[in-house]
Amino acid sequence: MTANPAGRRPRLRSAATPWLFATPAIVLFTLFLIIPIGYAIYLSFRGFRIDGGGAFGRRVQTFVGFDNYLAALTDPEYVAGLGRVLLYGLFSIPSVLGLALLFALLLDTPRVRARGFTRTAIFLPYAVPGVIASLLWGFLYLPSTSPLNYLAKQLHAGPLDFFSFPTLYFSLANIALWSGVGFNMIIIFTSLRAIPTSIYEAARIDGASELQIAWRIKIPLVAPALVLTGLFSVIGTLQLYSEPATLRPMSTTISSTWVPLMKIYQEAFMNDNLGGAAAASVVLALGILVLSMLLLRFFQRRTFGDNA
């Protein structure tokens, strides 16, 4: 109690301290995210129009109101791209999360061998850049370089077409699965390890099978981790870009605006329509935001309902 004057100092300090710690992040965040986002929103209301007539009249940037938003929302290709991404997500997200959960549970099975090796092996693709992963699978899909096709040929079966309509979605989802399953597996596995074993010791003594323990005890307990990985998968899915973009030159079935981000890239970098790209991005970001909030709310009620 003698430290009354000294006690004031920490309080004074702590008012400014968090801001000092956060300053580098705030400055960089402002410079490289807030300002560019603000500028992008500004751009989304602007477009190029011709100044001074003639066939080679110069383009100048002017205010175009909601034209860009209207164009994005009424563009059938953009809307179709959103649809394709959702369809792709229906394949990819459950398969990535399902397999990640399966591997995590298997790794968590008592007495299983080669745990370290398999865990590392399954995680390894995470280190392979998305573009390289796509290029590599592209080679594995193309008829003349595909090992599956080589085998099919040996068996006198026809060439397999990995790029034809429904198969294409699986081919793309497979790349996501390959790259993403390890990362998600590690998250689920570590949260499995965080469960005190005492919780299912009792069940084991009662003679419960590992399958039963997994289904009834482990999965409910890792549900929060599943929701989190699911949420990031949804965000990642809606921002799908490098896989279809890398495979596009190899196939005739992937159009140049196959997913929303390809469309945005196209407008921004090929068609010199930054305004249109910005508007389409704002629409996409808002869509992701709304979807994430809805999912979070839905699952929060279900997984944490009892506690919250």
Partner 1 sequence: MSATLQAAPRTGDRQFRRRRRSGAARRPRLALIVLLLGALYCLAPVIWVVAAASKTSRELFTTFSFAPGSGFFDNLANLSAYGDGQFWQWGLNSLLYAGLGAVLSTLVSAMAGYALAKFRFRGSQVLFSAILAGVLVPGIVLAVPQYLLMAAVGLAGTYWSVLLPVIINPFGIFLCRVFANAAVPQSTLEAARLDGAGEFRIFGTIVLPMMTQGLVTVFLLQFVGIWNNFLLPFIMLSDQDKYPITLGLYTFMGKGAGDGDLYSLVIMGSAVSVIPLIILVLVLQRFWRADLLAGGMKG
Partner 2 sequence: MTPPSPRPPRPGRRWTMAAALAVALTATVAACSSADTPSSGTPGTSGTEAAKGPVTLQVWTWNLKGNDPRAKAIIDKYHQENPNVTIKLSEVGGTADTASKLLAADQAGDTPDVAQVEYRGLPALVVAGVVKDITADVAALKSGIEPNIWALTTFNNQVYGVPQDIGPMMFTYRKDLFDKYGAKVPTTWAEYAKAAEQIHKKDPEAYIASFSAAQLEFFAAQAAQAGAQWWSNDGKAWKVGIDSEPSLKTADFWEDLVKRDLVKVEPLLTPEWNAQVNDGKLLSWAAAAWAPNVIHSVAPDTAGKWESAPLPQWTAGDPAVPFLGGSAFLVPAKSKHAKEAAAFAAWLGASDEGSKLQLSLDIYPGGNAGRQATLSHEPPKLMPQQKDFYQVADQVIKNTTIPVTWGPNVNVSQTAFGDALNKAALNKTSFREVYKATQQAVVADLQKSGYTVTK
What is the footprint of partner 1 within residues 189-228 (CB under 8 A)? 190-191, 193-194, 199, 202-203, 206-212, 216-217, 220-222, 224-225, 227-228
Nearer to partner 2, 256 or 303 (CB): 256
Residues 6+ apart with CB under 8 A from 204: 213
Query: CA separation (Å) from 278 to 43, 63, 121, 262, 275?
Result: 6, 14, 40, 13, 5
Q: Which of the choices partner 2, partner 1, none does residue 57 contact, using the CB cut-off of 5 to 8 A by kind?
A: partner 2
Contact between 56 and partner 1 per CB under 8 A: no
Contact between 31 and partner 2 per CB under 8 A: yes
Residues 6+ apart with CB under 8 A from 237: 85, 88, 89, 92, 93, 176
What is the DSSP code (8-state) at residue 196?
Answer: -
Nearer to partner 1, 133 or 172 (CB): 133
Nearer to partner 2, 28 or 128 (CB): 28
**Residues 99-124, buried b or exposed e (16+ Cβ, 10 A)?**
bbbebbbebbeeeeeeeeeebeebbe
Contact between 281 and partner 2 per CB under 8 A: no
Count of residues binding partner 2 (CB under 8 A)? 34
Contact between 144 and partner 2 per CB under 8 A: yes
Closest by CA position to 204, among listed 217, 195, 213, 196: 213
Closest by CA position to 175, among listed 262, 240, 272, 120: 240
Contact between 59 and partner 1 per CB under 8 A: no
Count of residues binding partner 1 (CB under 8 A)? 116
Contact between 268 and partner 1 per CB under 8 A: yes
Contact between 247 and partner 1 per CB under 8 A: no
Residue 179: CB atoms within 10 A of its CB come to 21
Contact between 19 and partner 2 per CB under 8 A: no
Contact letters (x/-) for partner 1, 272-301, by CB under 8 A? --x--xx--x--xx--xx--x---------
Contact between 155 and partner 1 per CB under 8 A: no
* Residues 165, 169, 270: CA angle, nearest 5 degrees: 90
Nearer to partner 1, 169 or 241 (CB): 241
For residue 35, which amino acid is it? Answer: I
Instruction: Return the biggest CA–CA distance within the chain.
Output: 92
Contact letters (x/-) for partner 2, 75-94, by CB under 8 A? --x-----------------
d(CA 144, CA 150): 8
Contact between 15 and partner 1 per CB under 8 A: yes
Closest by CA position to 179, among listed 135, 232, 122: 122
Contact between 145 and partner 1 per CB under 8 A: yes
Q: Which of the choices partner 2, partner 1, none does residue 98 contact, using the CB cut-off of 5 to 8 A by kind?
A: none
For the bound state, the minimum distance from the C-beta of residue 52 to partner 1, rounded and expressed in Å, comes to: 25
Contact between 142 and partner 2 per CB under 8 A: yes
For the bound state, the minimum distance from the C-beta of residue 54 to partner 1, rounded and expressed in Å, comes to: 28
* Interface with partner 1 (CB under 8 A), residue from 72, 254, 264, 283: 264
Contact between 186 and partner 1 per CB under 8 A: yes
d(CA 238, CA 81): 10
